[in-house]
Chain A
Amino acid sequence: MSIEAEVPHEPGKAREFFRSVTKDVSWIAEAPKPHKLWLLALTVAIAMFGWGLFCIYKLVMTGIGVWGNSNTVCWAWDITNFVWWIGIGHAGTLISAVLYLTRQHWRVSINRSAEAMTIFAVMAAGLFPLLHTGRPWFAWWMIPIPNDMGSMWPQFRSPLMWDVFAVSTYMTTSILFWYMGMVPDLATFRDRCANQGKNIRAAIYGVVSLGWRGSARQWHRYERAYLILAGLATPLVFSVHSVVSFDFATSQLPGWHTTIFPPYFVAGAIFSGFAMVLTLLLPLRYLFNLQHIIKQEHIHAMCRIMLGTGMMVGLAYGSEFFIAWYSGNPFEQFTFVSRAFGPFWWAYFLMVGNNVLIPQFFWFKWVRDNNILIWALCICINIGMWFERFVIIATSLARSFLPSAWSYYHPTRYDVGVFVGTIGMFLMLFLLFFRFLPVVAISEVKGAAPEAHAGGPSKGGHH
């Protein structure tokens, strides 16, 4: 972004720019007919979601036995998918909150869609802990409400209860943050619909935009609140994935019990989340002509972040291995050797290959300029991060302390079906979001552009 560029000073020039930003984003929601490819993608997503719903129906009505989980590998795809989805959600918060706090202005082009991604990913994630209990209709037992069962209360010393609180707080915060950021843009939609005579739409957008009128006194409090929400979301996002890592690390199981887990999970979450952001945005950017808002340099920045977080994940893999040896604990050593060379060796090498080796491509500028290649690499990273969680969960369980209980894990079609279903749900919601809501933070893009300083004492001079 060229902040030092000549600031336009001709009358009307700046306003022309602001109008163009409004129009570039609003037309997606205003277009009378959706794009054909969008319709096709939505159909596929709904079909996947439908299949997932059927599998969930079978699962709930029959029991966990339809999954491949066993006494030995008692957590498998369910918790793998949960951690994977939650991790994907974290990039949204990182982009909207952490990059905001560190003043990375390039975030404005993608933060809205990344936040939407967070919410949908957390919804998908939340399904799995709920389903894996086997009797999801007792989920209310996790909420501390007075009841008639002899004053039975949740057991708060369990990391699984921490999960409930962390994930639901995260969900709530993400929704409020997303919505609050969207209010000025919903007001833009309101005013545009009113001007175009679409009164019903204008009324709906009018109600959800709460009567926003862009007053400086309102903006002042709004900006403070936004900053504080960002400041709250940042420690929250750290805590959520740390709590998820506590699910494993508080146990004594070799391969689960290691102190690096909290920051390592957070880094991995950001890594996989950025991969998912790009997986979604690269095609949609072409479909909806957003190239001049989501610029190539923004994609560059995301590639660099993936490279960096990929390295952090690699550092954590290395640390784990080293400390497993350093500890002198034979069980730890066995688990790590078994991970890499045991029956799940293929999963381990998929994980290392996709998470540590694949991001190395991002060192090269020609890779960062080739969007099709980036997209393919991001898919690899998504797969690699899924396998990271699978490796942690399945290999540790399959070869734990009791050799007589050792086992292998085979997924069933219901494992696959529920997972595919959540992907379908995620894509469906994201596609709907892209069609009906402001997909780019219009007001933030305007505020971050050089034109936002037009007419002011912008050049040189000391005060």
Chain B
Amino acid sequence: MSALTKSLHPDEKIKAGKLGQKMTMAGVGIAVVFLGLSILLGATHGDNWKRFLYAYVTGWSYIASIAIGMLWLVMLHHLTRSRWSTVVRRIAEAMTGAFPLIWLAGLGFILPVALGYKDLYYWAHPDAHNAALNPTIVHKAGWLSPGFFALRYVIYGMVYSGLSWYFASTSRKQDVTGDPALSTQMRVVSGPGMILYGFTTCFLAWDVLMSLAPKWYSTIYGVIYWGSGNIAAFAALGLIVLWIQRNGRLTHSINEEHYHDIGKWMFSFTFFWAYVQFSQFMLQWYGNMPEETNWYKYRMFGEWQWISIAMLACYWAFPFVFLMSRWTKRIVPSLVFFAVWQLVFHWLDMYWNAMPSYDWLVASHGGASIVQGPLAGNIALHHVGFTALDITVWLGLIGVFLAGTGRGLRDNLIPVKDPTLGLSLAHEVM
């Protein structure tokens, strides 16, 4: 028999104590070790840091998408007055608290581009501005210019950091005052916040990932990035919650009902990702216009087809079929398995988005040898070319994410005076 509402268990440990510091320390440690190693590997890779920066964009898109996904959860929670998520909201807020640090880390690839590095984004390469070869890049040269690009990056960072700061700090204020009007206020802000968030996320994805192949375009691209990020965001949320519980906190407040909901969201976004990804693929495949199909050509044939097949099988089909069941989401070890699984394959998704642009064609055009950019030339010459660098940069940036998240894990780990807390504690999935 269950009740509609519960109060916090008297023995519950809700204070973070040193937990956040522990996570930050661990994060900093991981970041220093792996990014240090990556710099070593990158310097010796012998391609003027190109591989390093491609791996960096991949890893950065990865951690950014997780924080972006959690910001969505926080705002959705307020907008819909969700009940199940109140108990995990503080942790989600902590994850969005990583934004400033993530944006600082992003300077790792933004600064080189702004300062004239030309081998990461083809549009930053002088050869890209050959009007006969790349009329469409010349057309948008003002938009895709290092200065404006960096400026937009700063704006995105300010929007995300500002929103996450507002929700986290207001939520903490409520811990002290217990004023239910703060909930209403956050709800009101979530509306416009969501719109700002939508625009920012679309443009972020278009800028950071889509412009790696500057001649290709897809309106749905931002939605796919966001959907994919949310799979990883909920997976990460589940793992961090579990880690906190293993450290003796919130053991009474969060139970398999809440894990079940986290699993449900993971499942929903796994489906959603497949839906939007299929929409993009199918429309471009069916429309069969060369400027669009080019992007898929290099992913459907040659070495990259195996990565595409792996994504279909492992990022979608396998978790989709198994997460359908109620039990895979409620039994914690199984949920942990799928969370880790999806976190790994979300990285592969980012890799699949960014890395095929790594190989650039250099060929003669109008008598001169010219860099013709990514996704051109013989498919057989485009290699997946996994390097240790790809992994170490990723792990290093995960360290950055953990360091940022740890900062938010302080004081109360649960919004103790949120009016919906009682309902959330008593939450039950039918």
Q: Which residues of A contact B (CB under 8 A)?
A: 3-4, 102-104, 159, 223, 227, 235, 238-239, 242, 246, 249-252, 257-263, 304, 307-308, 311-312, 315-316, 318-320, 323, 325-329, 363, 453, 456-463
Contacts and interface: CB of A to CB of B under 8 A. Distances in A.
A462 B6 contact: yes
A260 B430 CA distance: 34
B218 A259 contact: yes
B139 interface: yes
Nearest to B419: A4
A315 B280 contact: no
Nearest to B10: A462
A10 to B, nearest CB: 19
B174 interface: no
The binding surface of chain B is classed by DSSP as helix
Listed from nearest, the 4 A-B pairs whose CB atoms lie closest are A328-B136, A260-B219, A259-B220, A250-B286
A311 B192 CA distance: 9
B140 interface: yes
Contacts of A251: 287
A457 B3 contact: yes
B291 interface: yes
B140 A260 contact: no
A263 B227 CA distance: 12
Contacts of A261: 279, 283
Interface stretch (B107-115, B193-201, B338-346, B355-363): B193-201
Contacts of A315: 195, 198-199, 202
Contacts of B194: 308, 311
Contacts of B125: none
Given A260-B219, A463-B3, A307 B191 contact: yes
Interface in B1-43: 1-7, 9
Nearest to B134: A328
Contacts of A102: 80, 82
A388 to B, nearest CB: 16
B5 A460 contact: yes
B143 interface: yes
A422 to B, nearest CB: 29
A75 B283 CA distance: 20
A73 B270 CA distance: 40
Given A259-B220, A462-B9, A453 B4 contact: yes
B287 A250 contact: yes
A353 B222 CA distance: 25
Question: Among B84, B215, B218, B288, which residue has the most Cβ atoms of chain A within 10 A?
Answer: B218
Interface in B68-114: 79-80, 82-84
Interface in B181-198: 191, 194-195, 198
Interface in B252-300: 252, 271, 275-276, 279-280, 282-284, 286-289, 291
A460 B7 CA distance: 6
Given A461-B3, A461-B7, 15 more contacts: A4-B4, A102-B80, A102-B82, A235-B271, A250-B282, A252-B287, A257-B283, A260-B220, A262-B276, A311-B195, A312-B198, A318-B199, A328-B137, A457-B3, A460-B7
A250 B422 CA distance: 50
Given A259-B218, A328-B136, A104 B5 contact: no
Contact of A458 (B4, B271, B283): B4
Give chain A's interface secondary structure class: helix
Contacts of B116: none
A411 to B, nearest CB: 30
6 contacts: A3-B4, A103-B84, A235-B275, A246-B282, A460-B5, A460-B6
Contacts of B6: 460-463
A457 B275 contact: no
Nearest to A235: B271
B5 A3 contact: yes
Contacts of A462: 6-7, 9, 252
Contacts of A328: 135-137, 139-140, 215
A248 to B, nearest CB: 10
Contacts of A257: 283, 287, 289
B423 interface: yes
Contacts of A235: 271, 275
A458 B3 CA distance: 5
Given A3-B423, A260-B220, A460 B283 contact: no
A124 to B, nearest CB: 26
Contact of A238 (B7, B83, B219, B275): B275
A246 B287 CA distance: 10
B324 to A, nearest CB: 9
Contact of A260 (B135, B191, B223): B223
Nearest to A226: B430
A262 B5 contact: no
A239 B276 CA distance: 11
A4 B5 CA distance: 8
B217 interface: yes
Nearest to A103: B83
Contacts of A263: 220, 223, 276, 279
Contacts of B422: 4
Nearest to A242: B279
Contacts of B280: 259
Interface in B350-402: none
Nearest to A238: B275
Nearest to A301: B80
Interface string B195-233: 100110010001000000001011111110000000000
A186 to B, nearest CB: 23
